[in-house]
Structure 1
Amino acid sequence: LHYGTLLGSRACVHMAAAAWATGFLNALLHTANTFSLPLCKGNALGQFFCEIPQILKLSCSHSYLRELGLLVVSACLAFMCFVFIVVSYVQILRAVLRIPSEQGRHKAFSTCLPHLAVVSLFLSTAMFAYLKPPSISSPSLDLVVSVLYLVVPPAVNPLIYSMRNQELKDALNKLMAGCFSQIIKYPSSAL
């Protein structure tokens, strides 16, 4: 995948600008809506960070139409991003399938599939967090889902991309072999 020749700096700038602009627009709309809500149920959240669904639970106003409008705008932006991701992956898949050697295809898939898994984890848990009905909401479920889509994908990305480094693979294999040899040598103390 010859990114340098197929994807010029102008296309990169346009994609980055589009991502920043849509993120800024979405954040601006939600922030303006959040600051206009009257809060009457305290100001303590059962989360690690402020999230819009949690703040809405503290609101005493019934701003369903405003929130529905913001949800529609956010859903449209998210859908456009999703379509862009799908189209990108289709193009990548087509390019990978044109690679003549099986080893080359395997190398390309070894990078693409874990990245796709992380993107899928992020999108599915984020959609669940924001679109689940309030009847199945609980503080512990909200916390687990939030961690899944905000903490796990960024934490897993360095691991995925560093696993292509042969030195890291060798060190990991050596570490795992040492652990297994200790378990075999002292089975009762490992438990």
Structure 2
Amino acid sequence: MLDTKTTPTHDLFVRLCHWFIALLFVAAFFIVDGGDLSHELVGYAIAALVLFRLLWGLLGPPSARLSLLVFKLKDLRSQLSRLYTKPLAPRLAHTRPAQANQAHDTSALASLMKLNLWLLLLLCALSGWAQETERFWGEAWLQKSHELLAETLFAFIAVHITAVLFIQFKHQPTLIASMLFSNKVKETRHTEK
């Protein structure tokens, strides 16, 4: 017999931060012109959301904690080598096996991506802000750095979306739903009666 159970994963604040940052990045990269006040304000809003998310990672519920992002390089190598060959075990958000009583095969990869995206978002916002200061006003190297950071961030976002789609369709059919509509992941296990 099969049992289906739902378990909380991402809380509402984490999901809202994720999607507002995504929408604001699209606005900054594709819609508003660089140098405009609107571009500046969007950049500041992104930085504020990333900082709030990091603060939530220190003060929020266990499923949102930054401590869950800690991984070992050997775990990363192992996960990369198994990505195409073995199915990934079901997982709960960022919880470790001891917390979830199940394997957490994508945590090192997901953790690395989150840390990279947050760092790039903050560096991009910082370089944008610095361009408006008296000290760095008109500095071509800083403008080029800001553009390079934004383009690198765009490349990482493309990898993130590709990885999510790959995991969604090859390994875990509830991954996207857990970030869009609800904070639940379905688990199925055999029970005997």
- TM-score, length basis structure 1: 0.42
| Structure with greater strand percent | 2
**Structure showing greater relative contact order (alpha-carbon pairs closer than 8 Å, 6 or more residues apart):** 2
- TM-score, length basis structure 2: 0.42
